[in-house]
Amino acid sequence: MPRKSTRLTFAVLATGAGVFSMLQSLVAPALPTVQHALHTSQSTATWVMTAYLLSASVFTPILGRVGDLIGKKRTLVAVLLAVLAGCLVAALAPNIGVLIIARVVQGIGGALFPLSFGIIRDEFTPAEVSGSISNLSAVIAAGGGVGIVAAGPIVSALDYRWLFWIPVGVVALTVLIAARYVPESPKRATGSVSWLGAGLLSAWLVALLLPLSQAGQWGWGSAKVLGLFATAVVLFAVWLLTEARSASPLIDLRVMRLPAVWTTNTAALLFGAGMYAIWSFLPGFVQTPASAGYGFGATVTESGLLMLPMLIAMFLSGVIGGRLEPRVGAKAQLTAGAALGAVACGFLTLWHDQQWQIGVVAGLFGLGIGLAFASMANLIVGSVPPEQTGAATGMNANIRTIGGSIGAALTSVLVTGRLQSSGLPYASGYTHAWALLALFCLTAAAAALLVPVRRASRVAGPVTERPAAAPVRVR
């Protein structure tokens, strides 16, 4: 394929990243069905989500760095094959243990995000990069929405195993096209993978995310939770020291300290806290029986349809954001996206008695997600050297996930801290949670205001190699 023919390359990247994003949320609404079908407990069934989260967090930055070193196309194909294998094993899983292992393998697909952004930067012309990254971010954001909306109909009409059989067919075709048509980038980072750094990164991420995801069952004051948090702090400090002294660090801390990078990552952490918590708890809110004093007693399918405005809004705002970025800048879009999230959560705190109000909130938050996803990716890609693209965007995705875990954990504490005699949460638990999420998003908007304005460079012609030590200048 001629190097300038980028449409098919983008289609491959969008399909792979979209499927992975969909797998993040597709299984959550079906967990009760999975629990019943595989004859397991609720606490064990939650590991279907936890294993996926931990795996993606570990592999995303590591394989992003591997792609920078050995070739992004080669790594992309390998990651797609892993996702294919994970989906196939999950579809055939005879018990919950095999399904959890399959979800760990699927989590390798988290690396599709940084690899895709890196391929776009390497292969597309400078004039195409920003819009393509925005469009891909819109697909990634919408993929999570598709999972929430589609899970109910798929399980009702077919079976929960089709949540994995459908991706098997899509990913298999994507692998074949990627291997044949996606060009291998000539841009490579120097050095090697710091396996000590990779091991320490994996260790502190697991030590942090595991108690966040399981604290509701283990107890926030339990020895396991407190011990893992302490371990995460120690391992994080050792990792920082190791990376700072390494001749070939997994994550170049000098790049992470760039003003445009650390401010964007701070906004990603805070906005991720609001976004993932809304995704996780808003469907449960609308599924609550009206006898609890709130909620609508919606089915899984009906609650998914109430989230449909979010899916449509996030895709449209992501695509439109790519067209607006040259005019208004990624900083303004990130600020606006986080502010829309704050407005949506504030609205939800005060008004949640009618289904149309839920639809308005979903649409507003969707607009914010689309703008924020596109702008964060563009800010990171435009602020780091080409050979650091995979690692830097991988860490940004990871930081957003960490924020999501924190937001979901705190929301769970507020929602489930006090229960009615029926076992259902009180309405006040949800309203306090929505107020907290509004504060998270508002703080994310404040962090976005600190992002330095990047001097745009939009000239036609092929992408040129920048000096390895110098990122795009910011002011």
- Same domain? For 277 and 130 the reply is yes
- Same domain? For 91 and 198 the reply is no
Q: Exposure of 139 by Cβ count < 10 A (0-12 exposed, 13-18 middle, 19+ buried)?
A: buried
The alpha carbon of residue 194 and the mean position of all alpha carbons in its chain are separated, in whole angstroms, by 24
pLDDT in tens, 230-279: 999 999 999 999 988 887 787 888 888 889 999 999 999 999 999 888 88
- Same domain? For 57 and 160 the reply is yes
C-alpha–C-alpha distance, residues 101 and 329, integer Å: 42
In this structure, is residue 439 part of a structural domain? yes
In this structure, is residue 454 part of a structural domain? no
pLDDT category of residue 128 using cuts at 50, 70 and 90: confident
Confidence at residue 5, expressed as pLDDT on a 0 to 100 scale: 65
End position of a domain, from candidates 247, 270, 289 = 247
**Residues 264/338, Cβ–Cβ less than 8 Å:** no
CATH number of the domain that residue 174 is part of: 1.20.1250.20
Pair of tokens at residue 441: 């998003």
Residue 423: count other Cβ atoms within 10 Å of its Cβ. Answer: 8
End position of a domain, from candidates 216, 247, 278 = 247
Percent with pLDDT over 90 in the chain:
35
- Same domain? For 354 and 445 the reply is yes
Region of poorest pLDDT, from 36-40, 299-303, 438-442, 469-473 = 469-473
Pair of tokens at residue 79: 């990651």
- Same domain? For 368 and 352 the reply is yes
In this structure, is residue 297 part of a structural domain? yes
End position of a domain, from candidates 183, 218, 247 = 247
Region of poorest pLDDT, from 87-96, 238-247, 433-442 = 238-247
Residue 319 in this model has a pLDDT that exceeds 90:
no
Pair of tokens at residue 28: 């959550």
The alpha carbon of residue 35 and the mean position of all alpha carbons in its chain are separated, in whole angstroms, by 25
Domain span at residue 344 reads: 7-193+248-449
Q: What is the largest CA-CA distance in the chain?
A: 67
In this structure, is residue 271 part of a structural domain? yes
- Same domain? For 342 and 437 the reply is yes
**Residues 267/338, Cβ–Cβ less than 8 Å:** yes
DSSP percent split of the chain into helix, strand, coil, nearest 5 = 80, 0, 20
Q: Exposure of 431 by Cβ count < 10 A (0-12 exposed, 13-18 middle, 19+ buried)?
A: middle
In this structure, is residue 465 part of a structural domain? no
C-alpha–C-alpha distance, residues 163 and 28, integer Å: 11
Nearest to 396 by CA among 369, 373, 418: 373
Alpha helices in 182-222 (DSSP H): 195-218
**Residues 61/201, Cβ–Cβ less than 8 Å:** yes
Pair of tokens at residue 138: 């819109």
Q: Exposure of 9 by Cβ count < 10 A (0-12 exposed, 13-18 middle, 19+ buried)?
A: buried
C-alpha–C-alpha distance, residues 373 and 440, integer Å: 16
DSSP type of residue 387: G
- Same domain? For 261 and 224 the reply is no
In this structure, is residue 78 part of a structural domain? yes
pLDDT in tens, 267-286: 999 999 998 888 878 888 99
C-alpha–C-alpha distance, residues 17 and 342, integer Å: 27
C-alpha–C-alpha distance, residues 322 and 392, integer Å: 20
C-alpha–C-alpha distance, residues 150 and 160, integer Å: 11
In this structure, is residue 464 part of a structural domain? no
**CB proximity list for 460: less than 8 A, separation 6 or greater:** 125, 126, 127
pLDDT category of residue 463 using cuts at 50, 70 and 90: very low
C-alpha–C-alpha distance, residues 153 and 156, integer Å: 5
What does the mean pLDDT of the chain come to? 85
- Same domain? For 219 and 357 the reply is no
**Residues 91/185, Cβ–Cβ less than 8 Å:** no
Pair of tokens at residue 225: 């939770």
Confidence at residue 461, expressed as pLDDT on a 0 to 100 scale: 37
Residue 30 in this model has a pLDDT that exceeds 90:
no
C-alpha–C-alpha distance, residues 99 and 89, integer Å: 7
- Interval 198-226 mean pLDDT: 87
- Interval 314-343 mean pLDDT: 89
- Same domain? For 255 and 345 the reply is yes
The number of folded domains in the chain is 2
- Same domain? For 166 and 133 the reply is yes
- Same domain? For 83 and 155 the reply is yes
In this structure, is residue 115 part of a structural domain? yes
**Residues 18/171, Cβ–Cβ less than 8 Å:** no
Confidence at residue 327, expressed as pLDDT on a 0 to 100 scale: 85
- Same domain? For 227 and 277 the reply is no
